[in-house]
Amino acid sequence: MSTQALSAILLVIFLAVMIYVGYSTRKHATDVNGFVLGGRSVGPWLTAFAFGTSYFSAVIFVGYAGQFGWLFGLAATWAGLGNAFIGSLLAWNILGRRTRIMTQHLDAKTMPDFFGKRFSSVGLKIAASIIVFIFLIPYTASLYNGLSSLFGLVFGVPYWVVILIMAVFTGMYVIFGGYMATAINDFIQGIIMLFGISAVILAVIKDNGGLLSATQKLSEVPADGWTGGAYSSFFGPNPLFLLFVVILTSLGTWGLPQMVGKFYSIKSEKDIHKGTVISTVFAIIVAGGCYFLGGFGRLYDAPGIYSESGKVLYDKIVPSMLSTLSPIIVSVVIVLVLSASMSTLSSLVLTSSSTFTLDVIKPSMAKKNKEMSEKNQVAIMRIFIVVFIIFSAVIAVIKDAHPEFTFIAQMMGVSWGALAGAFLAPFLYGLYWKGVSKASVVVCFIWGTGLATVQFFISLNVIDNQSWPAFMKFTTQNSIYSGAIAMIGGLILVPIVSLFTKKLNKEEVDNMFVCYDTIVKVKEVDSLGE
């Protein structure tokens, strides 16, 4: 059977299952709590896989694996391990339980809603909603990246057709079943990703004569300042840049609304422990595997991965690797990449629509003394899911059809850093420390989005940073550095500003934190007690 026929069969089966799951879970999406959070009763496997599949999309498999594998060689695997142990393990341990407890206590359903209730500020809620809207849409559009080259490898169809298929089918199951449909489909898509990435790694290593032979070939590739061994070394040819990649891609998840939102729906204490382990193992295999695979990219140094000007096209590296493999492996990868992209897309559009409805539309209606029923809120969220999917698809098509519109690509590049830079510190401190001031949150919002905006204009050559002081020039040399520094800077700014600005009402804050002091009884098998 040809690669095209096999891929088509697998895709039809995959998409049919996605729609069936969406339709069968529609009964869970009749009210806001069910549509957005799955009734806060989602088990550990679904939550862990939802976290992992929202984390890793086609961007990591095709884009990041190709780019960072090319730049760092096998040392790129550190980025994957960082994603597992910082972005998953530590995130679950530090944020998971407290997020679930406080968001339920405050009845917060979105991250902007949390900021509004935790810091008693409608202004912060609206500001956070605007930040989510501005920076999450271009980030959503980036999920289509990489799909074009892979589908073109097999089907030869136009890019817009691939985008249309992904957008329509994702929209259908999210609209039908909301969070529960997304979580179940994420689980299925996660299983595909686990088996898919494992199969591809084994195939690529076998294609190069085994692990020792592949590593030996890679060690012979020269790099600047190296005669050989750079791309098979422990930290690669540029350890500092690698460190910033690890920080951005790992710590960033702590401040992304679509990631943190997964903790809102955890069912019970034991689910947190199970979810932590499952999520970490998933990340080790998927993220670690993707970056490890990308590390062998220079063994496929073919003319097709270069532009006419001689620039490396990172999105072409992984497809170039796959073109030499068997039809069954290529077919599995097609479904793998579509799975990774659809899972992340569903999470992002559900986050965007719920945030816009609950934190912008509903409050504006309340000001007009108009109450929105649960049914109307869910209906509006479904409408905005369609709107956000259309927005992201149109942006992706425009970007592909008009590469001269570099502002779209640059906007996508700064989105992650802007969101995490603005939200990470105030959210983290807000869960643990009563002393966080409203002013410090405002400063962090301005800091994160401001640095990202400056980086955006530098990337477009609107601002020239060449004459800036060394540290400022270093910070803004690319979106990786600026994004990582935005997050680290926020963690420093929030406590400093909080010490010198007006505190929130002590009684109100104490009432918020009382949720952590609630006494619960557990079986002795779960805790030995005193």
Separation between Cα atoms, residue 247 and residue 451, nearest integer Å: 16
**pLDDT > 80? residue 407:** no
Averaged confidence pLDDT in the chain: 85
Q: Looking up tokens 């939802």, which residue turns up?
A: 50
Enumerate the CATH 1.20.1730.10 domain ranges in the chain, comma separated: 38-113+137-212+241-401
404 — pLDDT class (breaks 50, 70, 90): low
The CA R_g of the chain, rounded to the nearest whole Å, is 23
DSSP state of 299: G
Neighbours of 268 (CB within 10 A): 12
**Coil, strand or helix at 266:** strand
373 — pLDDT class (breaks 50, 70, 90): confident
Q: What is the pLDDT of residue 288?
A: 93
Mean pLDDT of 445-468: 90
Query: Which of 173, 140, 239 lies closest to 19 in space, CA to CA?
Result: 173
Q: Looking up tokens 């999406």, which residue turns up?
A: 29
Q: Which one has a higher pLDDT value, 487 or 334?
A: 487
- Taking only the tens place, the pLDDT of each residue in 385-402 is 898 888 888 888 887 777
CATH number for 38-113+137-212+241-401: choose from 2.60.40.10, 1.20.1730.10, 1.10.3860.10, 2.40.110.10: 1.20.1730.10
53 — pLDDT class (breaks 50, 70, 90): confident
Q: What is the pLDDT of residue 291?
A: 93
**pLDDT > 70? residue 522:** no
Q: Report in angstroms the alpha-carbon separations of 445 from 98, 153, 220, 244, 427.
A: 22, 42, 47, 21, 11
Q: What is the pLDDT of residue 246?
A: 93
406 — pLDDT class (breaks 50, 70, 90): low
**pLDDT > 80? residue 30:** no
Mean pLDDT of 320-326: 78
Cα 241 off chain centre by: 20
**pLDDT > 80? residue 136:** yes
Q: What is the pLDDT of residue 169?
A: 87
Q: What is the pLDDT of residue 426?
A: 96
Q: What is the pLDDT of residue 342?
A: 82
DSSP state of 40: G
Q: What is the pLDDT of residue 447?
A: 96
Q: What is the pLDDT of residue 81?
A: 95
Q: What is the pLDDT of residue 280?
A: 94
Q: What is the pLDDT of residue 270?
A: 75
